Structure 1
Amino acid sequence: MKKHFIIALLAVATSSFAQSKLKPSLSQKADALKSKVIAWRRDFHEHPELGNQEFRTAEIVAKHLKSLGIEVQEKVAYTGVVGVLKGGKPGPVVALRADMDGLPVTERVNIPFKSQVVTYYNGQKTGVMHACGHDSHMAILMAVAEILASEKANLAGTVKFIFQPSEEGVYNANGESILSGAELMVKEGVLENPKVEAIFGLHISAGSENGVLEYKPGATMAAVDQLDIVVKGKQAHGANPWLGVDPIVTSSQIITGLQTIVSRNVNITEDPAIVTVGAIHGGIRQNIIPESVKMIGTIRTFGVEQRELVHKRIKEIATNIAESAGAKADVTIGTGYPVTFNNVALVEKMLPTLQAINGKERVRQIPAHTGAEDFSFFQQKVPGFFFFLGARPADKKSVNEVAAHHTPDFYLEESEFQVGVKALSHLVVDYFEKK
């Protein structure tokens, strides 16, 4: 028995040593693939596809993974691609994720690989653009797959590469949100067979210093919910408002009332929250008080109790203000993405990996983002670590000088993409070693 135990310990020690020896090779190969990553990214950028329509994109990804000898499953959650790389030695299963979809945004940036794609979205003609960096995420993960596949015999575990569709969400003809790519992938069992033990994801950040890695333990990105309010009044001539119930005036009072939720109801010393009305639709003529007004908006929260409180107050404020005016408010809150929550223990364990490949001074803890990410659906099932890679152009000194994500002028500096390649590949190997 003692002999067998010693042999097992030696096997573990040998495996860990082998994983450590891999790391210099991973970094060298990441640097060697720099131009390839940029070329992949530019091709994806020039040919963006909206959520659940990533047919060309998925074909390129699948072809690349197959060429590396990776087991590939296609059409996961409609257009997703999943690759499984089984290492030469037994060990845990780690997943890496990249999102694939573009946005209904018409690009204004004058670059050789500018998107010229045009489509119809929600009944409107629009351009299509990778205005959030998903093109770079795919290119980086394709390089990671190539590097790890080249070291297959030395890997002490299994890597699952998840190329996910529709991170930006998908909406039906009525403008109602349906399952995101991550949520549907989870429902279809992407974290099973083989069962994933931990998952890592990276997001490019146009406003952050080029090549810097950023992270936050715990709540990292907000939960997001869709808000719909229909205020029903009584139509009347604009010259005789006393004969009707004005839903426009009532809506304006509701909007003002909603602002008190964050300023007066939420404990902002614990977590921030946001209630934004993004559009108001009502009326057709200057001298007619309409019968109804529709408002749509977004809600961002960082905790379960906070989320429940904000939802409750929205309904109370809207319905009570409407009632006081003689109107009626129908409030619908569509549940979106949960909080992107980085497993604290996993962050603590893997942070040294990021610091080792990029230097402690270029790995920085940041405040929470009020943006949202459906990576959170993976994190609800297994421990996850989602972090950011800066890609701010050198001539821009601060985030205020940079075009925001989801805008026509969005632009990324490409020179440090290999930092992301190193980060993801080293996280895999170090996780195997630590296990």
Structure 2
Amino acid sequence: MKKTLLGLALGLAFGTASAQSVDELVDNVEPQVIEWRHHFHENPELSNREFETAKYITEYLKTLDVEITTEVAKTGVVAVLDSGKPGPTVALRADMDGLPVKERNDLPWKSTKTGEFDGNTVPVMHACGHDTHMAMLMGAAEVLTQMKDQLRGKVKFIFQPAEEGAPPGEKGGAEVMVKEGVLKSPDVDVIFGLHINANTDIGKVRYTPEGAMAAVDPFKIVIKGKQAHGAYPWKSVDPIVTAAQMVMSLQTIVSREIKVIDSAAVVSVGSIHGGNRSNIIPEDVELVGTIRTLSKEAREHIYEAMERKVKGIADSMGAKAELTLPLDYSYPITFNDPDLTARMLPTIQEAAGKENVLLSKPVTGAEDFSFFQEEVPGLYLWVGGKPLDVSVEESPAHHTPEFYVDDKGMKLGVSLLTKMTIDYMNKSN
């Protein structure tokens, strides 16, 4: 990648970085962060196919004083900044992949790209803000590299593929990065990550101690009965009636067995397939759904209850049922280490302004950043991307064709990543 005139100007500006404040350096890099974001947004790639994205990131990182490793978990890029002084290793993570969504926004840098998903050609869009995440992490790498003489220890910049889930039949994302040793050599002490949010005002940041986002466990239930003519149901073992009872009973796990005042949980059946004619009771029915939990105890209880209810209802109807749980992937709880959260809260408040730091309730969405947090203490934040003149009701949701976040929201993200890294290093003995 050729360095732009802006990039060259930034290099000159950062020549005396040690004498400048973080805020000044973040101000200087903001135009380049916006340029990076526009490039990524215009050129999205699907999960495990982020080849050109990885090349673009790598070419820029080559202009910095960092050690680069590519093809981690297929397309991931990892860079290490070594201050040359003893201290902790702080990891910073951004996700890289887009979604099979056709963009409807009228932007000079809108996406018109396509990709292949499950054998089909599909439109591709950064409909969840990963374009901003990469740009913000590149901005933080620029600032921290220029402040190398003020650091203690190492910084590991992790550009992660396939956060949205690997294609069918493949593995990917944070889980694979962890298995390939991304948190080793050097060993990571803590990891920070953030997500732009289309429903939070620019300039604000939200945090949640402990369980911030849910564990996700997809499941499949195959009910086998006995086929018969629809006019003679007594000759059947009806898997459709069995499935209906099962769907209703699964809802009582949360409503009657989970102490929801302590921790929210969800059991949702998302699809039912069985039968092909009005007058035939089929032989089998398939249910597919998802479980979301915010505590280890609730997760373990639902696993046990699913087995109990599926078997019990099938037995009572004379049917057989097979439960696959988890189905094809599983994410742990995105768990913000409470001690780390408390330790970094003053830094977050300094970066955003105390009045702009909001304590938020957990959400039942999921994030594979959780795989990093299972290995080392981690903190995951939400950074505002909603323009101030747009109401929450009018702001398009994530994963939709109209999804939009304002460039102005990224400056706070760069500041947070940079200041949390520096402050954690300085507060470590």
Q: Same fold (TM over 0.5)?
A: yes
1:346 corresponding residue in structure 2: 340
Q: Does 1:72 align with 2:65?
A: no
Describe the shift of the 1:121–1:382 C-alpha distance in structure 2 as closer, same or farther (beyond 3 A).
same
Q: Does 1:421 align with 2:421?
A: no
Q: How does 1:171-190 map to 2 (within 5 A)?
A: 171-173=167-169, 179-190=171-182
Q: 1:420 Cα shift?
A: 0.4
Question: Which amino acid letter does the alignment assign opposite residue 421 of structure 1?
Answer: V
- Select 2:376's aligned residue among 369, 372, 382: 382
Please list the CA deviations of residues 172-197 of structure 1 after superposition, one character each: whole Å capped at 9, or x if unmatched.
34xxxx64411111111111111111
Q: How does 1:214-225 map to 2 (within 5 A)?
A: 214-225=206-217
1:88–1:154 CA contact under 8 A, matched in 2: no
Give the secondary-structure state (helix, strand or coil) at the position aligned to 2:62. Answer: helix
1:87–1:157 CA contact under 8 A, matched in 2: yes
In structure 2, C-alpha distance between the alignment counterparts of 1:358 and 1:38, rounded to whole Å: 19
1:115 corresponding residue in structure 2: 111
2:48–2:172 CA contact under 8 A, matched in 1: no
In structure 2, C-alpha distance between the alignment counterparts of 1:261 and 1:393, rounded to whole Å: 40
1:180–1:374 CA contact under 8 A, matched in 2: no
Q: Does 1:269 align with 2:265?
A: no
Q: 1:40 Cα shift?
A: 1.2
In structure 2, C-alpha distance between the alignment counterparts of 1:347 and 1:416, rounded to whole Å: 22
Question: Which amino acid letter does the alignment assign opposite residue 226 of structure 2?
Answer: K
Q: Does 1:403 align with 2:396?
A: yes
In structure 2, C-alpha distance between the alignment counterparts of 1:125 and 1:315, rounded to whole Å: 38
Q: Which stretch shows the higher mean deviation, 305-314 or 287-296? A: 287-296
2:87 corresponding residue in structure 1: 91
Describe the shift of the 1:307–1:54 C-alpha distance in structure 2 as closer, same or farther (beyond 3 A).
same
Q: 1:285 Cα shift?
A: 2.9
Give the secondary-structure state (helix, strand or coil) at the position aligned to 1:136. Answer: helix
Please list the CA deviations of residues 280-305 of structure 1 after superposition, one character each: whole Å capped at 9, or x if unmatched.
22222333322211111111112222
In structure 1, C-alpha distance between the alignment counterparts of 2:400 and 2:222, rounded to whole Å: 29
In structure 2, C-alpha distance between the alignment counterparts of 1:231 and 1:128, rounded to whole Å: 36
Q: Does 1:169 align with 2:165?
A: yes
1:13 corresponding residue in structure 2: none
In structure 2, C-alpha distance between the alignment counterparts of 1:302 and 1:22, rounded to whole Å: 42
Please list the CA deviations of residues 298-320 of structure 1 after superposition, one character each: whole Å capped at 9, or x if unmatched.
11112222111111111222222
- Select 1:156's aligned residue among 133, 152, 157: 152
2:5 corresponding residue in structure 1: none
Describe the shift of the 1:68–1:51 C-alpha distance in structure 2 as closer, same or farther (beyond 3 A).
same
Aligned length: 410
Q: 1:226 Cα shift?
A: 1.1
In structure 2, C-alpha distance between the alignment counterparts of 1:54 and 1:389, rounded to whole Å: 24
In structure 1, C-alpha distance between the alignment counterparts of 2:394 and 2:127, rounded to whole Å: 16
Q: Which stretch shows the higher mean deviation, 32-41 or 413-422? A: 32-41
Q: How does 1:329-344 map to 2 (within 5 A)?
A: 329-334=321-326, 336-344=330-338
Question: Which amino acid letter does the alignment assign opposite residue 238 of structure 2?
Answer: D
Q: 1:203 Cα shift?
A: 0.8
Q: Which stretch shows the higher mean deviation, 384-393 or 71-80? A: 384-393
Q: 1:153 Cα shift?
A: 2.7
In structure 2, C-alpha distance between the alignment counterparts of 1:183 and 1:104, rounded to whole Å: 22
Please list the CA deviations of residues 400-432 of structure 1 after superposition, one character each: whole Å capped at 9, or x if unmatched.
433222222221122121000001001111111
Q: 1:125 Cα shift?
A: 4.3
Give the secondary-structure state (helix, strand or coil) at the position aligned to 1:242. Answer: helix
1:59 corresponding residue in structure 2: 55
1:228–1:332 CA contact under 8 A, matched in 2: yes
Q: 1:255 Cα shift?
A: 1.0
1:23–1:426 CA contact under 8 A, matched in 2: no
Q: What RMSD, in angstroms, separates the aligned Cα atoms of the two structures?
A: 1.8
Q: How does 1:5-404 map to 2 (within 5 A)?
A: 25-173=21-169, 179-334=171-326, 336-398=330-392, 400-404=393-397
Give the secondary-structure state (helix, strand or coil) at the position aligned to 2:405. Answer: coil
**Unpaired stretches in structure 2, ≥5 consecutive residues:** 1-16
1:89–1:154 CA contact under 8 A, matched in 2: no
Give the secondary-structure state (helix, strand or coil) at the position aligned to 1:385. Answer: strand
2:6 corresponding residue in structure 1: none
Q: Runs of 4 or more off by more than 4 Å in structure 1?
A: 21-24
Describe the shift of the 1:186–1:42 C-alpha distance in structure 2 as closer, same or farther (beyond 3 A).
same
1:167–1:374 CA contact under 8 A, matched in 2: yes
> Structure 1 vs Structure 2: percent identity of aligned residues?
51
1:76–1:82 CA contact under 8 A, matched in 2: yes
Question: Which amino acid letter does the alignment assign opposite residue 194 of structure 1?
Answer: P
Give the secondary-structure state (helix, strand or coil) at the position aligned to 1:38. Answer: helix
In structure 2, C-alpha distance between the alignment counterparts of 1:397 and 1:356, rounded to whole Å: 26
Q: 1:129 Cα shift?
A: 1.7
Please list the CA deviations of residues 381-412 of structure 1 after superposition, one character each: whole Å capped at 9, or x if unmatched.
111111110112333322x4332222222211
Describe the shift of the 1:366–1:66 C-alpha distance in structure 2 as closer, same or farther (beyond 3 A).
same
2:48–2:167 CA contact under 8 A, matched in 1: no
Q: 1:35 Cα shift?
A: 2.2
In structure 1, C-alpha distance between the alignment counterparts of 2:117 and 2:280, rounded to whole Å: 30
Give the secondary-structure state (helix, strand or coil) at the position aligned to 1:320. Answer: helix
2:103–2:401 CA contact under 8 A, matched in 1: yes
> TM-score, with normalisation over the residues of structure 1?
0.90
In structure 2, C-alpha distance between the alignment counterparts of 1:36 and 1:207, rounded to whole Å: 25
In structure 1, C-alpha distance between the alignment counterparts of 2:19 and 2:363, rounded to whole Å: 31
